[in-house]
Amino acid sequence: MDIRFHGAAGEVTGSCHLVETAGRCILLDCGLIQGGRKDEERNREAFPFDPKGIDAVVLSHAHIDHSGRIPLLIRAGFAGPVYTHRASKDLCRIMLKDAGYLNEKDAEWENRKRQRKGLAPVAPLYTMQDAVAAMRRFRGLAYDEKTEILPGIDIRLRDAGHILGSAIVELWLAKGGTRRKLVFSGDLGHRGAPILRDPTPVADADLVVMESTYGDRLHRSRDETQAELAAVIANARAERGNILIPAFAVGRTQEILYHLARNYDAWGLAEWQVFLDSPMAIEATEIYLRHNDLYDREAAALWDGNRHRPLLPNLSFTRTGRQSMQLNRVRSGAIIIAGSGMCTGGRIRHHLKHNVWRGNCHVVIVGYQARGTLGRALVDGAKHIRLWGETIRVAAKIHTVGGLSAHADQAGLLDWYGRFEGRPPVVLVHGEPEASSALQAALGSATNAAVRVAGPGERIDLTDAAR
């Protein structure tokens, strides 16, 4: 009876942990490694275990760094089911398909270069077709219901409050007379974040496997964030300009829409037109709307109070490229939410081209911008940007709004762990080394628990782990 950490050990992406008991193998997550080219090449390597020997996958949530290698696992021979929350199943349907599409585009681009060099073509990591086929393995579960997935192995998903459908996984294992309970945090949400409930406290475990993304950080307060957004909208209105918001399709986009809906009157939004200009974000938003039974109390109240009128009466979904291009002519009064979140692709680049050289344009950055991306260049104060071979002056005002993180900060992580009885041992995953060691130190001094940071490929014997 043991667990091995095959991904998101010493890093943030590629979440993948293998649990073995009594000859059965369960994979917790099967995520894509993300980052630079070198990192992403690792996705093509063979799995460090036999995919044919995996009996089931339990998926914590739909983010691609947790789900993105499932189509590869299936292609490599995995023949079992994928258990996840039913909302995660809905989100995976669009996210894995999108990943397949991007893989195909990447391969096309790569192969044009290879052809010119006289090299043999490469195959996409996996295709849209692979992603669609993978969805047939998905079994959607509800929160809080215990399910026997294999003889002697039960799971229960608890709301992790990170994105829609995100789950903490409770896993009960038996081998002969030995019984152990493992709790895998998945990604934990930020307390008080809009729309979703706070991460569910869990009381008992023999071993806790816990994320540590922001183990070394405290987030800015939500009130400050709201005030920042309000100020941007007021300034842009005074200057009669447009507002551009580059946003990730799942989670952040819905959070922004929620803030706009909730403050519709207070922020004078009736004078604006709001455009959601991303087919994927539109689909994700529709899934969020469909699963309104998962909302927190505040969002549920807003939802119930607006049965008879739309939440944001001036919100338009621009699905087609043609509708999107029509926005190029709008000079003022438009709030445009478009992907990609770091401006590396997608429709936001067109909107930047048509707006960013105007002094009355406001760009609101609401998420993390990785080094080397166009979004990061804007945050870092670039005076000019290059788009489609054209140099464009940046005259727009660039605002970075913090406090919208989908992850718990150090205080949130300490609080969640603090609800366990008897201080079970903890293994930290899903964090850069500095973040994990900061959380290790903080947890150790706050609780006296035995805390370690998982190393890549490390194995922990669960029969040894006991309360």
Q: Which residues bind Zn ion (CB under 5 A)?
A: 63, 187
Give the Cα-Cα-Cα angle 274, 393, 323 (nearest 5 degrees).
30
Query: Is the CB of 187 or the CB of 283 nearer to Zn ion?
Result: 187
What residue type is assigned to position 374 of the chain?
Answer: L
Q: Beta strands of 126-215 (E only): which ranges?
A: 138-141, 147-150, 153-159, 167-175, 178-184, 207-211
For residue 66, the minimal CB distance to Zn ion (Å) is 6
For residue 342, the minimal CB distance to Zn ion (Å) is 16
Query: Is the CB of 68 or the CB of 124 nearer to Zn ion?
Result: 68
For residue 187, the minimal CB distance to Zn ion (Å) is 4
Total residue length of the chain: 467
| Sheet hosting strand 451-453, strand order edge to edge | 147-150, 153-159, 167-175, 178-184, 207-211, 426-429, 451-453
For residue 162, the minimal CB distance to Zn ion (Å) is 6
Query: Is the CB of 138 or the CB of 272 nearer to Zn ion?
Result: 138
For residue 61, the minimal CB distance to Zn ion (Å) is 6
Cα 338 to the chain's mean position, in Å?
A: 17
Query: Is the CB of 159 or the CB of 187 nearer to Zn ion?
Result: 187
Query: Is the CB of 63 or the CB of 85 nearer to Zn ion?
Result: 63
445 φ, ψ to 5°?
-75, -30
Query: Is the CB of 191 or the CB of 423 nearer to Zn ion?
Result: 191
Q: Beta strands of 115-161 (E only): which ranges?
A: 138-141, 147-150, 153-159
The DSSP letter of residue 15 is -
For residue 56, the minimal CB distance to Zn ion (Å) is 21
Query: Is the CB of 324 or the CB of 410 nearer to Zn ion?
Result: 410
- Side-chain-side CA neighbours of 183 within 13 Å: the count stands at 26
The span from the CA of 334 to the CA of 336, in Å, is 6
Residue 111 CB: number of other CB atoms within 10 A? Answer: 16
User: Beta partners for 172?
Assistant: 154, 181
For residue 55, the minimal CB distance to Zn ion (Å) is 25
Contact between 456 and 18 under an 8 Å Cβ cutoff? The reply is: no
